Structure 1
Amino acid sequence: MDPKQTFLSWPVVRQVRSGDFLGRGPSVTSKRTRELTPRTVTADRVVQSVCPYCAVGCGQRVFVKDERVVQIEGDPDSPVSRGRLCPKGSASEQLVNSPGRQRKALYRRPGAADWEPIELSKAVEMIAQRFVDTRRRTWQDHDEHGRPLRRTMAIASLGGATLDNEENYLIKKLFTAAGAIQIENQARI
């Protein structure tokens, strides 16, 4: 036994002496714990967000200090989740601050073994050009009987379940306007 500890400093005795019979109050709080300051108290600002993981759309409160995310918690004002998050949503701060998080667009040339960094504007331009080229090359204006098709079977869309209604609406409009007919969403699969 530590020479500084006595029988009266044992946790069960502290619980009974303090009236904390369930052991959820000051009797089970160490001196070190009482000296800690929550990260949420020192944050410069709080930003409302939505959990990125599934289609539920749980509200999150993102605590920011010095332009860095320091904590993410459930938003009690959210009508969807009322302040609760699943274990994955509770760990989303790790997603944001992970040292393995990719912060640049990467490109792997045909036949290459490694990925190389590429400017985001160049990556977007390459994707857009390939989209337009594929549409032009595979466009079906009419079938063999002369009936109008106005479609391409070479472009498809699989949306994510974390997108909201407005984003899904715009994606559907974009791909329909491009002539794609294979438009699906993860939430329906």
Structure 2
Amino acid sequence: MTARRFLGWPAVRQIASGDWLGRGPAVTSARTESLKPRTTTADRVVQSICPYCAVGCGQRVYVKDEKVVQIEGDPDSPISRGRLCPKGSASEQLVNAPGRQTEVLYRAPRATDWQRLDLDTAVDMIADRFIAARRHDWQQTDEQGHLLRRTMKVASLGGATLDNEENYLIKKLFTAAGAVQVENQARI
């Protein structure tokens, strides 16, 4: 074994440099020194909220060339104080996953293939079906003449990724539409 290669060992470099704990230049390779954090290459930083649960942890989203390059906890957030759970820490993978759906897909009844729809068409289809289901099964009164003003054909299941304000507005919308079954994933 050559002396040069032997001196390149991290343990030998630790002893020779006095870096007894192995946390300094003794264990730093040329490749490690050349690495730069993705956050330093970002064009801008955008504040956001983690999409996974109803806690609402703050995130800093680092963007370069209109593409998300890194997501980290926001130390200015009073809720999470810069910390993220494992799912929140993996948010960048959610955004940049190669299999992520970015278009609305629709499969007609008894069809075997999916077709792409623009967002406006999909929202119109949902609204039309919502109104038709509500109109088809509207119950104004019961058999005794008691006022009901409800439909049992429309229901809502909210997600835990929504915050309190969003869940409140969804509850108001569906109640105003006459829906009785309004539930949230967090209670199930």
TM-score by length of 2: 0.94
Task: Give the % identical residues.
Answer: 74
Match in the other structure for 1:87: 86
Match in the other structure for 1:146: 145
2-structure distance, mates of 1:69, 1:62: 7
Match in the other structure for 2:5: 5
Deviation, 1:126, is 0.3
1-structure distance, mates of 2:2, 2:30: 16
1-structure distance, mates of 2:70, 2:138: 49
Q: Which amino acid aligns with 1:166?
A: E
Match in the other structure for 1:96: 95
Secondary structure in structure 2 of the residue aligned to 1:64: strand
Q: Which amino acid aligns with 2:36?
A: T
Q: Which amino acid aligns with 1:158?
A: L
**Unpaired runs of 5+ in structure 1?**
none
Equivalent pairs, count: 188
Give CA deviations for 1:22-73 in whole Å, capped at 9, x if unaligned. Answer: 3233222211010111111010000011111122221111000010101111
Deviation, 1:187, is 1.5
Secondary structure in structure 2 of the residue aligned to 1:5: helix
Match in the other structure for 1:117: 116
1-structure distance, mates of 2:148, 2:19: 75
Q: How does 1:35-184 map to 2 (within 5 A)?
A: 35-184=34-183
Secondary structure in structure 2 of the residue aligned to 1:41: helix
Give CA deviations for 1:133-187 in whole Å, capped at 9, x if unaligned. Answer: 0000011110111001111111111111111111111101100000011111111
Change (3 A) 1:50 1:2: farther
Change (3 A) 1:149 1:2: farther
**Unpaired runs of 5+ in structure 2?**
none
Once superposed, what is the RMSD of the aligned Cα atoms? 1.5
Change (3 A) 1:161 1:134: same
Deviation, 1:5, is 1.4
Give CA deviations for 1:95-142 in whole Å, capped at 9, x if unaligned. Answer: 111111111111001101121101110000000000000000011110
Give CA deviations for 1:62-88 in whole Å, capped at 9, x if unaligned. Answer: 000010101111111111211111222
1-structure distance, mates of 2:2, 2:126: 67
1-structure distance, mates of 2:176, 2:45: 39
Deviation, 1:16, is 3.3
Q: Which amino acid aligns with 2:155?
A: A
Secondary structure in structure 2 of the residue aligned to 1:144: coil
1-structure distance, mates of 2:84, 2:18: 33
Change (3 A) 1:138 1:3: farther
2-structure distance, mates of 1:19, 1:111: 73
